[in-house]
A and B are shown apart, each in its own frame.
Chain A
Amino acid sequence: MATAYDNATRTSDLEHEGIVPVIAVENVYKSFASHKVLNGINLRVNRGETLAVLGRSGTGKSVLLRLIIRLETLDSGSVCIHGQDIAGLPLDHMGKVRMKMGFLFQHAALYDSLTVAENIAFPLEHHRRDISRSERMDRVRQLLAEVGMEGDLNKMPSDISGGMQKRVGLARALALEPEILLLDEPTAGLDPISSGEIDNLILKLQRERKMASVVVTHDLHSARTIANHLALLDQGKVVIEGKFEKLQQSDIEFVKEFLK
């Protein structure tokens, strides 16, 4: 297919530039029982880049994100983080890789028995035992200020809106200062104003922190705003990958239909 993502060209470009991609997804296959979800996916994300993964519901976008952080195991292929294949890593080693990653779940997945502040402090308590309680609380306040929720420290997740939960989820994902940010539908179910705020927040964080990010979304406007390049999935395959303009100029019927 002429317009399909040409992985070989891209890999050789990167080799010429001497860049090892932060995330490299190579020929990944994943099925659930007899249902094939991912059917030979190839994607690469470098430092400071944001890749938006688009596609219809059920095309395996969230599964792809879960494979990158190994919440699911792949059937074949490889997922490399900083050049290291994570498929066979023991759990403790995988923990070290995960510490470099922040994950925002589609429904935020906040711990419902903990307050907003405790949710954000949770990864710090487990991985930064060297810092004092007051330092930890300072860090929590700083993260909440970054996502514009400094006044909601002691609220429970059930007492805040969906958009606010996403902000808290984002603050928690950033707690360990990750090099990789994985965002699963960050603007899904939000009103346009809240979506815009989340998009601006993600853009601001990327500018400041230069993370490699993968954003799974249905929201074309959001994808266009926050991503350097986009990948469109259909039936478990990448149909097209590139800048938004490349997608706009594509002759592929599915791409045209999707952009409508």
Chain B
Amino acid sequence: MSDRGLTAAAAIRPPLPEPQAIGISSLLSSAKRRFSHFFEWFGSLGVFSWQVLKAAITPPYEWRELIRQFDEVGSRSLPLVALAGAAIGIVISLEARYSLSRFGAKSMFPATLVYSVIQVMGPVITGLVVSGRVGAGIGAELASMKVTEQIDAIEASAINPYRLLAATRVLACILMLPLLTLAADACALLTGWFAQALVEQLSFRQFVESGFRGATFNAFLPPTFKTAVYGLIIGIIACFQGMRTRGGAAGVGRAATNSVVLASLFLILADVVLVKFILVFFP
């Protein structure tokens, strides 16, 4: 094609928008969309939490369902939480023995184990294990009920689904988490002591007396009871994700996954705030 031909073709063809401009505008609109979804999600979560709170504090109370959820969240999570606690106890015992020996502080072993289990590892491990087991369970169960119209059927029967399904599960999580944490702590301390007792002479009585010497309620109760907040987070997020599900089997899968991922994430983020709170108010 001659030069003149090329010029003519260029004159007919509409001018292309600058690639850079397209990239920036689409990026901006995508960011705007994500930003609004982010706030929409939190807004919906706030409204949902308010509905659950209202349902939880006003009669009639769903005692039978609450007791069923105590069993579902508490008793059925106990073996898993105890096993996780036992494993953590052994791991901390092995690590602490090695590190303390290097610094000539072997006598600090019982206190190190007790404090690290009760203040840090026990609550977090329990929270994450329950988040995985119970969060996924609640998310999938409620999502499945939602897509098969069972939640609509409950509502159509003049029963408040926030009261029957959400409030009972959230309350069970809040009340069971501290108890499960105590169980995890006990298992971790037992296996930690046992692992140490296998390599050197340390009676259980010596371990307890040395580990808990000078301990106050402030050192142990707030870290254990902060798991009630973990329970609130797990319960609310799992119920929220489950009850807003759309889209069949894929939606159920997404709800279960999102319940675990978001509950675990918010649990760890909340821990940052809670640790600071405990340090300030329970020194």
Contacts and interface: CB of A to CB of B under 8 A. Distances in A.
A98 interface: yes
B152 A98 contact: no
Contacts of A95: 158-160
B152 A112 contact: no
A191 B153 CA distance: 25
A126 B150 CA distance: 16
B158 A107 contact: no
A96 B148 contact: no
B152 A91 contact: no
- Residue picked from B60, B145, B152, most chain A C-beta under 10 Å: B152
A176 B157 CA distance: 9
B37 to A, nearest CB: 15
Contact of A103 (B60, B145, B150, B156): B156
Interface string A75-96: 0000000000000000110111
B71 interface: no
Interface in A87-119: 91-92, 94-96, 98-99, 101, 103, 105-107, 109-112
A85 B156 CA distance: 17
B155 A71 contact: yes
A126 B152 contact: no
Contact of A111 (B150, B155, B158): B150
Contacts of B60: 126
A71 B157 CA distance: 11
B149 interface: yes
Nearest to B156: A103
A98 B158 CA distance: 5
A110 B148 CA distance: 9
Interface residues on B, range: 10 to 19
Contacts of A101: 156
A50 B155 CA distance: 23
Interface string A120-140: 001100110000000000000
B242 to A, nearest CB: 15
A122 B160 contact: no
Contact of A112 (B150, B159, B160): B150
Contacts of B153: 103, 105, 109-111, 172
B150 A122 contact: no
A174 to B, nearest CB: 12
A69 interface: yes
A99 B152 contact: no
A123 B155 contact: no
B157 A109 contact: no
A106 B152 CA distance: 12
Nearest to A91: B160
A139 to B, nearest CB: 15
A126 B157 contact: yes
A107 B156 contact: no
A35 B150 CA distance: 26
A109 B158 contact: no
A98 B159 CA distance: 9
Contacts of B145: 111
Contacts of A112: 148, 150
Contact of B156 (A69, A96, A110, A127): A69
A42 B145 CA distance: 32
Nearest to A66: B152
A176 B158 CA distance: 10
Contacts of B149: 105-107, 109
A122 B157 contact: yes
Nearest to B164: A126
Nearest to A71: B152
Interface in B136-174: 145, 148-150, 152-153, 155-160
A122 B159 CA distance: 10
B160 A109 contact: no
Contacts of B148: 107, 109, 112
A95 B158 CA distance: 4
A67 to B, nearest CB: 12
A127 B152 contact: no
B158 A99 contact: yes
7 contacts: A95-B159, A105-B156, A109-B150, A110-B150, A122-B157, A123-B157, A126-B60
6 A-B pairs closest in CB distance: A98-B158, A109-B149, A109-B153, A103-B156, A95-B158, A123-B157
Given A95-B158, A95-B160, 5 more contacts: A98-B158, A106-B149, A109-B153, A126-B158, A176-B157
Interface of A: 66, 69, 71, 91-92, 94-96, 98-99, 101, 103, 105-107, 109-112, 122-123, 126-127, 172, 176
